[in-house]
Amino acid sequence: MTKKLHGNFLIDSHFIEAEMTFDQKIIQLTRMGIENKNLPYIIPGFIDLHVHGGGGADIMEAHTSAEIISQAHAHFGTTAFLATTMTAPFDQLENAFSAMKKTFSTRSPKGARMLGVHLEGPYISSEKLGAQPDFVREATVLEIKKLHDIVPIKILTLAPELFNHMELISEFTNMGIVVQIGHSNGTYDQGVKALSLGAKSFTHLFNAMSGFHHRSPGMVGAALAHAQYAELIPDLLHVHPGAIKAALRSIPKLYFVTDATAATGMPDGEYALGSHRVHKCLGGVKLADGTLAGSALTMNLALTNLLNIGLSLEEASLRMSKIPAELLLLSDRGVIKENAFADLLVLNSDYSLNKIFIEGELL
């Protein structure tokens, strides 16, 4: 059924007073003038490219996890997401992919659209596991093709310095997969080489990668000096606000993710993260040894954090919607324009969520 909205819409990086007619997609946008501060602000739905879990469910548990996760994150303004796996033996990954197939094929009622999978490991460095279980192994095209045929892999996190991974970057890129450098102890030069071979982005910038030193810039240095894209977790636990600002000055298309776990949207307690058990307490999620293990971040809280450290609503929205969509070469999501999906967030005066539309459906 056709619906209408009137307000300040974020169009081409500026707020403009307009009236919209939409169903599943935006049918018509009638521009009415400059921004009107007496009207609600409407931005594109958030696109989160790094989601392990939510609502008590972990994607590696298979079964109905993907559906629970899609519904949990939708209530925080995420309208599309990538289900993100953990490092695990192949049979466990295959089971998780098979269980996701239904949610990928058919969007859950009141749920965010699953765009595919972010395969975070197992092709990573045992020296930079972070909270990943130690099932590290060499990447093979055959293994990737088997998983990719079940549900499309949109992003693959890779440590390029290991095995023959450097040689595989172009092959994975030709399959339509975005290669992100992450969980890597590689050098600056190895990072630069990986980018030259087609790696496109960095996974949770600063975390689980060789750090920056002025005589040994590491993977962080390669990202800051050369990357066009990188994802970053703005829970203000994983990365200091000053480091976020340094990344914003260096990486043109820095975008934000939650790295959310099963603990997201849930009370403090113990939850699954792949084969690990993690503990949520005081807003953070950690392993028993205190290592940060994903997050309990939601995209609406990420927006609040970014506004609080000085980003404008326009810039924060760009880096939570349009840029993630661009990374995946999606022209009909993350933006407000005719023929784009009607993934829309209507905000209150304090920029908290008032209404959420996913493909035209009001939650």
Active site residues: 259
Element spanning 91, H or E? helix 90-105
In this structure, are residues 5 and 42 in contact, taking their beta carbons and an 8 Å threshold?
yes
Helix locations, 106-154, DSSP H: 141-148
- CA-closest candidate to residue 22, choices 44, 51, 48, 38: 44
Q: At what angle do helices 90-105 and 141-148 cross, to 10 degrees?
A: 30
Q: Rounded CA gap, 202 and 198, in Å?
A: 12
User: What count of other Cβ atoms lies within 10 Å of the Cβ of residue 359?
Assistant: 19
In this structure, are residues 152 and 116 in contact, taking their beta carbons and an 8 Å threshold?
yes
In this structure, are residues 221 and 231 in contact, taking their beta carbons and an 8 Å threshold?
no
- CA-closest candidate to residue 80, choices 295, 350, 340, 292: 340
Radius of gyration in angstroms for the set of CA atoms belonging to the chain, rounded to a whole number:
20
Sign of CA pseudo-dihedral 90, 96, 99, 100: negative
Q: Rounded CA gap, 54 and 74, in Å?
A: 10
The amino acid present at 49, given as its one-letter code, is L
In this structure, are residues 323 and 49 in contact, taking their beta carbons and an 8 Å threshold?
no
Q: CB burial class (10 A; 0-12, 13-18, 19+) of residue 274?
A: buried
Find tokens 């324009």 and name the residue.
337
Q: What 3-state DSSP class applies to 132? A: coil
Query: In what side-by-side order are the strands of the sheet with 269-273?
Result: 269-273, 276-281, 284-286
Q: What 3-state DSSP class applies to 144? A: helix
